[in-house]
Amino acid sequence: MRIVIAEDDALLREGLVLLLRSEGFEVAAAVDHPGDLVATVEAVEPDLAVVDVRMPPTFTDEGLRAALEARRRVPGLAILALSAFIEDGYAGDLLAAGGGGAGYLLKERVGKPDEFLDALRRVAAGGTVLDRDVVAVQLARPRPGDPVATLNAREREVVALLAEGHSVPTIGRLLGIGTAAARQHAGDVSTKLRVPDGAQAMLSYLRA
């Protein structure tokens, strides 16, 4: 897997390069400016871009916008966006864009290599990943009739893990309940919230 990194913090950028190379990934380039990201992606056509959301010159959403432009020029590019802050709107923009695997994580997850690398691999495989803290914010958002309030504790756990992008078998393993029980809970959740089965549908519901 070929990866391009866009991160203006030199320490984090080099840390990502070392981590990914130590795990056998090919880091084709590591840049510190959003404009360089677009040009580099066009030149090397990587499988995945790991991108800081906030980059120069204004440190708002330049990194995210550059990543989406890079995907427009290199269709299918997977994007894993990193942020120091919980920015629900930016996460929604990325996940709603379509066109390839997408993930949005807080930068602190890089300090937990197993979690970070699992998310990276799922995004590279075409999946969707959302940081658990962003999911918690979305679950707490008031909604008409508050359908989330009808869920029991286990069902809320299942909703959160679905929204983070985990498959039903993985949810069963993480919760220690097995695939069949996890599938039953996922079905119950879909019925109560009136959304189709699956992680992507749950993400769409929570973003609405």
Percent of the chain topping pLDDT 90: 71
- Residue 32's alpha-carbon distances to 52, 119, 121, 174, in angstroms, are 9, 22, 23, 36
Percent of the chain topping pLDDT 70: 98
**Three-class DSSP category at 80:** strand
Under DSSP, the state recorded for 33 is S
Q: Is the pLDDT of residue 25 over 70?
A: yes
Under DSSP, the state recorded for 108 is G
105-121 average pLDDT score: 96
Q: How confident is the model at residue 144 (pLDDT cuts 50, 70, 90)?
A: confident
- Letter for the amino acid at 107? K
Q: Is the pLDDT of residue 31 over 70?
A: yes
Residue pair 100/78 in contact (Cβ under 8 Å)? The answer is yes
162-185 average pLDDT score: 94
**Three-class DSSP category at 198:** coil
Q: E-assigned strands of the chain? A: 2-6, 26-31, 48-52, 78-83, 102-106, 128-130
40-57 average pLDDT score: 96
Domain ranges of the chain: 1-130, 141-205
| pTM (two decimals) | 0.90
**Cβ neighbours of residue 182 closer than 8 Å, sequence gap 6 or more:** 158, 168, 169, 171, 172, 175
β-strand partners of 48: 3, 78
Domain 1-130 fold = Rossmann fold (3.40.50)
pLDDT score at 199: 67
**pLDDT tens column, 72-86:** 999 999 999 999 988
Q: How confident is the model at residue 196 (pLDDT cuts 50, 70, 90)?
A: confident
Domain 141-205 fold = Arc Repressor Mutant, subunit A (1.10.10)
Q: Is the pLDDT of residue 145 over 90?
A: no
23-40 average pLDDT score: 97
143-166 average pLDDT score: 87
Nearest C-alpha neighbor of 91 from the set 145, 165, 14: 165
d(CA 107, CA 88): 15
